[in-house]
Amino acid sequence: MGILGIIVEYNPFHNGHLYHLQTSKELTKCDYTIAVMSGNFVQRGEPAIVDKWKRTQMALKAGIDLVIELPVVYATSTAENFAYGAVKLLDSLKIVDCISFGSEKGDLNELTKIAEILLEEPIYYRKALKEYLKSGITFAKARELALQKVINNNEIEKILQTSNNILAIEYLKSLKKIGSSITPFTIKRKGSLYTSLELKGEFASASSIRKHIFEKGLEGLEKYIPDFTKEILQSSFEKKQGPVSLEEFSNILIYLLRNHIPLNHIFDVSEGLENKIYKASYKTNNVEELMKLVKSKRYTESRIRHILIHLLLNIDKQIFKEFDGPNYIRVLGFNEKGKEMLREIKKKSPLPIITKVSQYKEKLSNTKMFEKDLFATDIYTLAYKNSSIAGLDFIHPLIKL
């Protein structure tokens, strides 16, 4: 049996995701699919619009056979950490044959070249990078110019401008780094750019869909999301469990910052940035506004978002040193084929499978990373307008289709 692995957020699941899934199955000729999915907080550095169980339902309805949670520590980190955590997890299942990811570029040649250079940093690349850095430009720009010089391809700038290419490069880097035997495939993304906020074209971006939901609700999205997505969102919103946005955590974040909770233990925080963030918290109680105040050429919004989410979730940078990838396989849901795969994984993977959360202490020698997932859920549910309870991971049933 051919097994396909994909890395997803499904925030929420839309027709572009469906296209990617179906095309990936055709291309790789795999007949089993595993998704590693972000949990209640996502790579953009914000809470998911609905919780991980609801998004698991979407995934299974769409034809995924097994959904595994990407630990929140990786899910909310940089593209590099996100990709490494996800690829390492897929690889450690020891049953995945192929991985397929979207990219704006749509073919692996150039992406692989870039990934190899970034991973291996050959001396001629490092030399070029050093030269460019001397001229006082940002690291990202210097890296781009050095790559361009080394690969001698004037498309590099364009490739590095879009987020799915960047993630694709990170996936390829990670596969290479861990010496994975998984075969990579990429599918050219159709429709709007990831970051587009406009609903248009054949496929709308998840960002534009979320924006529409927050501003206008679910009506008018029929062209862009499958019926099951609409139904799942609808029923979540009726239960007052979502749509969840970062703004619901504004008060908590600004409170922590005005209280001068230290930030220097958080990944990617420099002293100058720490002070800038504290200062901004004195000027607003809205976290989106705070980010606008802090954002600059030097400090990207994405970096600030990740810092704020790690502050909220109490994630210390130390954890990235303590762990080399996820140390557990947290199952969120599956169908019959998923069940079959779980039996295989149990035989072949070195990592413990967690289906009953109450057993995590017996199954894990180091519980720190897993406990961050539990805490993330306890914080996520603060945004519920109705019956918010903690410890949901202990009692929420697995999603089965």
Contact mark string toward its own copies, 295..314, x via CB under 8 A: -------------------x
Q: Burial level of 373, CB count in 10 A (0-12/13-18/19+)?
A: buried
Q: Does 382 bind its own copies (CB under 8 A)?
A: yes
Q: Which two tokens stand for residue 16?
A: 């572009």
Note whether 248 binds its own copies by CB under 8 A.
Answer: yes
Site for its own copies contains 258 (CB under 8 A) = yes
Nearer to its own copies, 249 or 334 (CB): 249
Cβ proximity to its own copies: between 153 and 388 the closer is: 388
Determine, following the binding rule CB under 8 A, whether residue 251 of this chain makes contact with its own copies.
yes
Q: Is 242 annotated as a binding residue?
A: no
DSSP-assigned letters across all residues of 282-342:
TT-S-HHHHHHHH--SSS-HHHHHHHHHHHHTT--THHHHH-SS-S-EEEEEE-HHHHHHH
CB 230 within 8 A of CB 218: yes
For residue 384, the minimal CB distance to its own copies (Å) is: 7
Our finding on whether 370 is near its own copies (CB under 8 A) is: no
Distance CA 189, CA 184 (A): 16
* Position among 119, 252, 293, 364 found at the interface with its own copies (CB under 8 A): 252
Q: Is 323 in the site for its own copies (CB under 8 A)?
A: no
What string marks each residue from 105 to 134 as x (binds its own copies by CB under 8 A) or -?
A: ------------------------------
Q: How far is the CB of 390 from its own copies (least distance, A)?
A: 4
Q: Is 254 in the site for its own copies (CB under 8 A)?
A: yes
Q: How far is the CB of 192 from its own copies (least distance, A)?
A: 33
Contact present, 215 and 204 (Cβ < 8 Å): no
Give the nearest distance from C-beta 373 to its own copies in angstroms: 14
User: In Å, what is the CA distance from 379 to each residue of 40, 173, 314?
Assistant: 9, 33, 11
CA distances from 61 to 55, 97, 122, 194 (A): 10, 23, 45, 23
275 lines the binding site for its own copies (CB under 8 A) = no
Instruction: With contacts defined by CB under 8 A, name the span among 76-84, 226-234, 365-373, 388-396 that binds its own copies.
Output: 388-396
List all residues 6 or more positions away from 28 whose beta carbon is below 8 Å from its beta carbon.
2, 4, 97, 98, 100, 183, 185
Please report whether residue 284 would count as binding its own copies according to CB under 8 A.
yes
For its own copies, how many residues bind (rule: CB under 8 A)?
26
**Distance, C-alpha 101 to centroid of its chain:** 13
Amino acid in position 367: T
Minimum distance between the CB of residue 9 and its own copies, rounded to whole angstroms?
24
Which has the closest alpha carbon to 381: 214, 244, 253? Answer: 244
How many CB atoms within 10 Å of residue 124?
12
Q: Which residues bind its own copies (CB under 8 A)?
A: 248-249, 251-252, 254-255, 258-259, 281-286, 314, 375, 378-379, 381-382, 384, 387-391
